[in-house]
Amino acid sequence: MKLPVYMDNHATTPVDPRVLEAMLPYFTEVYGNAASRNHRLGWEAEAAVETARKQVAKLINASPQEIVFTSGATESDNLAIKGAAWAHRGRGNHIVTLPTEHKAVLDAAKRLEQEGFSVTCARVGADGLVDPDDVKRALTDGTMLVSVMAANNEIGVLQPIAEIGKLCRERGILFHTDAAQAAGKAPVDVERMGVDLLSISAHKIYGPKGVGALYVRGKNPAVEIAPLIDGGGHECGLRSGTLNVPGIVGLGKACELCRLEMPEESRRLGGWRDRLRDGIFSRLDDVRVNGSMEHRLPHNLNVSFGGIDGESLLVGMNDVAVSLGSACMSATREPSYVLKALGVSDDRAQSSVRFGLGRFNTEEEVDYVIGRVVETANVLRDISVKAEGKCKG
Ligand SMILES: *Cc1c(COP(=O)(O)O)cnc(C)c1O
């Protein structure tokens, strides 16, 4: 077993060797610009991009022409939200989202507030799930966009996307979902879910960093958005800039592997996630899972360890790579805004650790992590009991 054991697969995933292998020729052999129409190296690059477009589309039951390649889910979220807002200002200026969204969604919406849009966050329950009726109640005559993530990056809960898609469709409101954590890990189908715009990131699904995609509905109805980046008119004018051909090839291959292996992988990782939970819960008191266990990604576990500082737990088991919550928030040391939105106390939020299993974990690693978590938590609790005793004595 190689240390550290990596269980932070919501922050990023290693590149699958099969993805890397697919990418390699496009750095040094087929290095043409996919927009070059006058020679074979350009055509071959373009053909590879079109193959990837099909692979991405197939994962989410879309058509290839509905896929726009971007630099990742942050850009896809910004393009979806600002692009929809700018193109449809005439329809209204109200946006509905959730307090538990990724910052790429929340801060894009906040930026639009400075331009005169208004934003409502529908509440989530103690289990992290939004009730579609609460989304419905948040809608006004001026609502032009709803953005609700498919799966949360901290607590892994799966939102009722199909229900929300249906009520948006009935009212002619655009519906965006950030599926950076869900695509490739749980079934995602843009038709069944009634989604108009959907964000994907390659590095969350064993592809390379710095590449992603936005699905933009092409029919029933065709959805119009405005670009964020102007230039050579690539990607039908929605995202100018020379295409990242190796990255796009990697994203396509990553999507294909997820589509083919998801049923088996979900079962395997779901079994190990439950083993991790049961192993920890049978040997430690005062531990709680954050977020719905029923509507949850199979590889996610988020646990509060009563009376323990999460940061100390992580420092104490430095041969296990897990995190407190979102990687983007770890610099601030504020308690997770996602957990706070569930009504979790500051103390409990500070004691929470996110485990994200992945394709390359083994059962041996799961058992090792259980042992290290239990051992470290017991040491920390002993220390605090002794410290309390000393104060009293
Ligand atoms: C990782 C992540 C993002 C950002 O994706 P990048 O490709 O790193 O920009 C956005 N939303 C969610 C839910 C994520 O997990």
pLDDT digits (tens, 9 = 90+) for 214-266: 999 999 999 999 999 999 999 999 999 999 999 999 999 999 999 999 999 99
Q: 293 CB contacts (<8 Å, ≥6 apart)?
A: none
Task: Report the nearest atom of ligand 1 relative to the CA of 10.
Answer: 15
CATH number assigned to the domain comprising residue 271: 3.90.1150.10
CATH number assigned to the domain comprising residue 122: 3.40.640.10
Cβ–ligand 1 contact at 53 (below 6 Å): no
Task: Report the nearest atom of ligand 1 relative to the CA of 210.
Answer: 7
| Cα 224 to ligand 1 centre (Å) | 23
At residue 390, the pLDDT reads 67
Based on the fold, state whether residues 22 and 148 are members of the same structural domain: yes
Based on the fold, state whether residues 205 and 299 are members of the same structural domain: no
Based on the fold, state whether residues 117 and 247 are members of the same structural domain: yes
| Cα 80 to ligand 1 centre (Å) | 14
Cβ–ligand 1 contact at 201 (below 6 Å): yes
Based on the fold, state whether residues 233 and 349 are members of the same structural domain: no
Cβ–ligand 1 contact at 73 (below 6 Å): yes
pLDDT digits (tens, 9 = 90+) for 86-134: 999 888 999 999 999 999 999 999 999 999 999 999 999 999 999 999 9
**Which one, of 211, 217, 270, lies nearest residue 244 by Cα?**
211
Cβ–ligand 1 contact at 181 (below 6 Å): yes
As for how many domains the chain has, the answer is: 2
Based on the fold, state whether residues 224 and 319 are members of the same structural domain: no
Based on the fold, state whether residues 377 and 331 are members of the same structural domain: yes
Cβ–ligand 1 contact at 247 (below 6 Å): no
At residue 384, the pLDDT reads 83
Cβ–ligand 1 contact at 80 (below 6 Å): no
Based on the fold, state whether residues 214 and 266 are members of the same structural domain: no
pLDDT along the chain (393 residues), means of 10: 96 98 98 93 96 98 98 98 95 96 98 97 98 98 97 98 98 98 98 98 98 97 96 94 98 98 98 98 98 98 96 95 74 84 94 97 98 97 82 53
Q: What is the pTM of this model?
A: 0.96
Q: Is 255 a catalytic residue?
A: no
Based on the fold, state whether residues 347 and 226 are members of the same structural domain: no
Question: Whose CA is closest to atom 2 on ligand 1?
Answer: 180
Based on the fold, state whether residues 297 and 237 are members of the same structural domain: no
Among 209, 237, 257, the domain boundary falls at 257
Q: 47 CB contacts (<8 Å, ≥6 apart)?
A: none
Based on the fold, state whether residues 49 and 148 are members of the same structural domain: yes
Cβ–ligand 1 contact at 102 (below 6 Å): yes
Based on the fold, state whether residues 148 and 295 are members of the same structural domain: no
Based on the fold, state whether residues 232 and 290 are members of the same structural domain: no
Location of structure tokens 């576990």: 301
Q: Candidates 12, 149, 203, 204: which one to mutate for ligand 1, based on the most atoms within 8 Å of Cβ?
A: 204
Question: Whose CA is closest to atom 9 on ligand 1?
Answer: 74
Task: Report the nearest atom of ligand 1 relative to the CA of 76.
Answer: 9
| Cα 179 to ligand 1 centre (Å) | 9
Find the catalytic residue in 168, 258, 328, 391: 328
Among 257, 281, 310, the domain boundary falls at 257
| Cα 383 to ligand 1 centre (Å) | 37
Domain residues for the domain of 355 are: 5-11+262-392
At residue 329, the pLDDT reads 56
Among 257, 283, 310, the domain boundary falls at 257
Task: Report the nearest atom of ligand 1 relative to the CA of 209.
Answer: 7
